Amino acid sequence: MKHRLLFFLAAACATYAQQAQDPEFARLVKEWTTKPEFVSPLVDHLPKAAGIPTPKDVLGYYVGTPKKLTHVADLLRYYRALESASKRVKILPAGRTDEGREQVVVAIADEDTIRNLETYRGYLAKLADPRGLNDQQAKQIAAQAKPIYMFSGGLHSAETGPPEMLMELAYRLVAEDSPLFDQVRRNLIVMIAPVLEPDGRDRYVDWYYRHKINEETEADRVAGPPYWGRYIYHDNNRDINYSQVTMRNWLKFYLDWHPPIMHDLHESVPFMYTFSGQAPQNPTLDPILYAELPWLSNFEMTKMFGYGMPGVWDHGYVDMWSPGYLGFMSSNHNGMLRMYETFGNGGANTMKRSVAPTEGNGGGPNQTTREWYRPLPPYKEVVWSMRNNTNYMETGVLSALEIASGYAKTLLENFYEKSRNSIQSGSSEAPFGYVLPSGQSDMTRVAFIVNILRLQGIEVGRATADVKLKDGTFPAGSLIVKRNQPYGRLAKILLEKQVYPDQNLRTYDDAAWTMGLMSHAEVQEISDKAILDVPVQPVDTFRVPGSVQGDGSMLAVLHNGANSLVTVRYRLKDVKVEAIEQTFKSGETEIPAGSFLIPSSQRARTEIENLGLKAVALSAAPSVPRHEVDLPRLAMFSTWGSTQDVGWVRYAFDYYEIPYDLIYKERVRKGNLRDSYDVIVIPNQGRGNAKSIVFDLESKGNPIDYMKSQEFPTLGAYGDSSDITGGMGLEGTLELDKFVKAGGVLITLGISSYLPAEYGITQTVDAQRTSPQFYAPGPIVEAEITQPSNPIFYGYPNKTVPVRYANGPLLRVPQDDRKKQVLMRFPGTEKSVLSGLMKGVAEIQDRPAIVEVPSGRGRVLMFATNPAYRWQNLGEFNMLANAILHYNDVPKASASATAE
Ligand SMILES: [Zn+2]
């Protein structure tokens, strides 16, 4: 036995030693790596393999070449060349982006595994849903299975290195001969998502070649392009409800293949941070996961310190609280999210970087100090190159593959155990489930929640009869989510109230996301175990059919808070629609204020039914006060430097079919806004103050254009500019003021509400700041409607509503005006924090949440909240939709507002 082993090793060494190397690669890597300690023996060489193309063979340059970035089509061209040359590779389709680019995943393993990929997919599917298997059977499957270890890069387009590095990784995985690579190919299925946001990648690469390729120093650095993908920027990693087509495709891929590990490669802090899942941690996720994460990240640190590479650390950065990061699709589904941040320059130029915070560069957390989790810290100053970035990331990734391939069975058993534990915890620990009762006045909100749960692979059923539980009685047709299912833990995480574990801990993103509160839908947590036995019919997609009761020449479409009410108005834009201002009854049906009166037609009936609305046919118009719901000429203002939160509002408007012009400083400065528009919405944007909205990107003398050209076809999308710097300036604010005085309605959301206050468009309203002790990472808090008859509250029958509030302005209205101008306020008590964390809640006590201020012939509507936040707080959206639909109908009594 011993003899044979020796023979094998000798034979193996002989084979490995024979592999020819590319001397040019080794020479250039040495040249591009800025210090000898910034490379490892894993990546300082490139073997040659007959017939297998390297990235350079296809692209003409090595990965890590200074000033070279690769467009999506060329990335795919490389992977396709690799696939046609080797039976170790298979490319799997994963859909198309918003802009029509291909999404693919590249699978790499030994030939036999690739040939039997479907079989391995089947094994993982069983481990992901082990119902019906006992432990022994599951472990037998785990013994035959292989874990998929999936890497992804390019979610954030400015983080340019990972999509480059992944090509070289793919090549090595296919071509390199060594015991390590053999073990990886034999024991794992490596998958690579070459670029998670293909639209943004192409736009960023174009931008790099247009504006950033000549950057030599930190001071030269130009801001990024105004857009990555179609709507959102960095928040593609915060799209908890998978609103974006591209991100939804990745989730579908995940649920088709169940990779037990997803490893998302980002770029920011020096030199490399490897995520270990620190506190605050979501306690609902499996303890095994919290042990796996530091196990793997510590292994990588061990290896990289062994190679002498400084600046690798694994604590003190991102935590495990919010489930909304894209890669969390894995940990949320009993897998494991891994993540790196590697240092990068936002392009492919080599440049000197000051890493430690100094007075000049803002003084963020110091990531160059020695700490227990950073025993070999990054240098305070460094010349950094693209190749350094590749070396670090690739060395880390290969170390991760070393341990994962060495412990493949452990990882598979863990995956199974996490799945099993999720099912078991749902049958042994309360809450045992959730009920979304049928018969809620607006079931479209329930449909929103149910369909997101379904998208996430969570099983939902409809009760076939009335449900009697200790927690209450619910009518037949109620939606039932039982916890004893593979993704029962995720259901709990999404539906429960977030109880923040420690007020002294900060979190990287949101503290709250409770879907029922965000949507203003009733979701009942169930402590009665009997829910597990409630007979249900499984729901695939939950559709709410609209209804029209009775016959008559006029339809009263109920304003029951459905967001699709605004859609029906726009779909029938050529029809005269009126809104009633007082509730009345038609037979047994209460028709609430804000309901529409529409002449009956087949078309109107069809739209009402399609949109899940309820209507009652009337023989004549009721004798209650009403007004015409005419449609405004609508604009949405965006800075060039902060388009993301605008993007979320654009997404919501597009989704609900509200047409608008997207305008920038160019249009504002041109003036005569009132000639073109009735309403201008300024979504939340900027860097926390009004100045950053007014002056936006600093002009450094040279104009920075964002224009489409033959050479740069992706630039100039969603608006163009010959110079994106400088902002609207004081002249712009003056034009906004003129717009309002001439009868326009200006609506500001969140941070943007500083603008009218601080630039005197609303002279009496102040916007103040919270104290440094105040901390509100997006909790859901209670707000009280103080002017229930204002049309913006049509569809809100309750006095208090849950709203999301982060660090928006603290508005202040003079005492005498409060009664008239404050439409909604924050009680600001401890018990008004409904989910998540608000530290220093007293600071918002009795502060206005929404203010309406007349000015000249127009008015300004200021939200301290953001009613269109990341496609989450859809319950608040009607406040904005109503404000648009009834723009010239409020306040009726005030002489200063005009109905044009
Ligand atoms: Zn990132």
Distance, CA 873 to ligand 1 centroid (Å)?
A: 24
Distance, CA 339 to ligand 1 centroid (Å)?
A: 10
Q: pLDDT-based confidence at 700, cuts 50/70/90?
A: confident
Query: Per-residue DSSP letters for 96-154?
Result: E-TT--EEEEEEE--HHHHHTHHHHHHHHHHHHS-TT--HHHHHHHHHH---EEEEEE-
Q: Based on the number of CB atoms within 10 Å of its own CB, is 57 exposed (0-12), middle (13-18) or buried (19 or more)? A: middle
Range 380-401 average pLDDT: 98
Distance, CA 368 to ligand 1 centroid (Å)?
A: 20
Distance, CA 249 to ligand 1 centroid (Å)?
A: 19
Residues with CB under 5 A from ligand 1 (ion): 156, 159, 266
pLDDT tens digit sequence for 43-63: 999 999 999 999 999 999 999
Say if residue 835's pLDDT is above 50: yes
Q: pLDDT-based confidence at 363, cuts 50/70/90?
A: low
Distance, CA 807 to ligand 1 centroid (Å)?
A: 23
Distance, CA 891 to ligand 1 centroid (Å)?
A: 45
pTM of the predicted model as reported, rounded to 2 decimal places:
0.96
Structure token digits, residue 58: 């296809």
Residue with structure tokens 């490319």?
Answer: 91
Give the residue among 768, 792, 781, 877 at the shortest CA–CA distance from 830.
781
pLDDT score at 807? 82
Q: What pairs with residue 189 in β-bridges?
A: 148
Distance, CA 155 to ligand 1 centroid (Å)?
A: 7
pLDDT tens digit sequence for 439-476: 999 999 999 999 999 999 999 999 999 999 999 999 99
Amino acid at 100: G
Name all contacts of 231-234 with Cβ < 8 Å and 24+ positions apart.
231/98, 231/647, 231/648, 231/650, 231/651, 232/644, 232/647, 232/648, 232/651, 233/200, 233/643, 233/644, 233/647, 234/156, 234/644
Distance, CA 226 to ligand 1 centroid (Å)?
A: 16
Distance set, CA 667 to CA 682, 687, 698, 727, 748 (Å): 14, 22, 19, 11, 18
pLDDT score at 16? 60
Distance, CA 874 to ligand 1 centroid (Å)?
A: 26
Say if residue 365's pLDDT is above 90: no
Distance, CA 266 to ligand 1 centroid (Å)?
A: 4
Distance, CA 560 to ligand 1 centroid (Å)?
A: 40
SS3 33: coil
Q: List the Cα angle 630/631/634 in 5-degree steps.
A: 155
Kindly report the average pLDDT of the chain as a whole number: 95
Distance, CA 236 to ligand 1 centroid (Å)?
A: 10
For the chain, percent of residues with pLDDT exceeding 70: 96
Distance, CA 163 to ligand 1 centroid (Å)?
A: 12
- Written in H, E and C, the secondary structure of 651-702 is HHHHHCCCCCEEECHHHHHHCCHHHHCCEEEECCCCCCCCHHHHCCCCCCCC
pLDDT score at 11? 46
pLDDT score at 193? 98
Say if residue 358's pLDDT is above 70: no
pLDDT score at 1? 43
Q: What share of the chain is helix, strand, coil (3-state, %, to 5)?
A: 35, 20, 45
Min mean pLDDT across 62-76, 97-111, 360-374, 425-439 is at 360-374
Rounded-to-integer distance, Cα 875 and Cα 515, Å: 10
Distance, CA 161 to ligand 1 centroid (Å)?
A: 11
Query: Per-residue DSSP letters for 219-245?
Result: GGPPP--S-SSSS-SGGGG--TT--SH
Rounded-to-integer distance, Cα 166 and Cα 156, Å: 15
Distance, CA 273 to ligand 1 centroid (Å)?
A: 12
Distance, CA 159 to ligand 1 centroid (Å)?
A: 6
pLDDT score at 356? 82
Our measurement of the distance from residue 239's CA atom to the centroid of its chain's CA atoms, rounded to an integer in Å, reads: 2
Say if residue 895's pLDDT is above 50: no
Distance, CA 160 to ligand 1 centroid (Å)?
A: 10
Distance, CA 138 to ligand 1 centroid (Å)?
A: 36
pLDDT tens digit sequence for 719-757: 999 999 999 999 999 999 999 999 999 999 999 999 999
Distance, CA 412 to ligand 1 centroid (Å)?
A: 28
Say if residue 325's pLDDT is above 50: yes
Distance, CA 562 to ligand 1 centroid (Å)?
A: 35
Distance, CA 422 to ligand 1 centroid (Å)?
A: 30
Distance, CA 264 to ligand 1 centroid (Å)?
A: 9
Distance, CA 72 to ligand 1 centroid (Å)?
A: 18
Range 842-850 average pLDDT: 97
SS3 457: coil
Alpha helices in 803-897 (DSSP H): 815-821, 877-885
pLDDT tens digit sequence for 249-260: 999 999 999 999
Could you tell me if 396 and 272 are in contact, meaning their C-beta atoms sit under 8 angstroms apart?
Answer: yes
pLDDT score at 45? 98
Q: pLDDT-based confidence at 364, cuts 50/70/90?
A: low
Distance, CA 863 to ligand 1 centroid (Å)?
A: 30
Distance, CA 90 to ligand 1 centroid (Å)?
A: 27
SS3 47: strand
pLDDT score at 701? 85
Distance, CA 317 to ligand 1 centroid (Å)?
A: 13
Say if residue 4's pLDDT is above 80: no
Q: Name every residue whose Cβ is closer than 8 Å to that of residue 330 and which is 6 or more positions away in sequence.
A: 150, 254, 259, 260, 261, 262, 336, 337
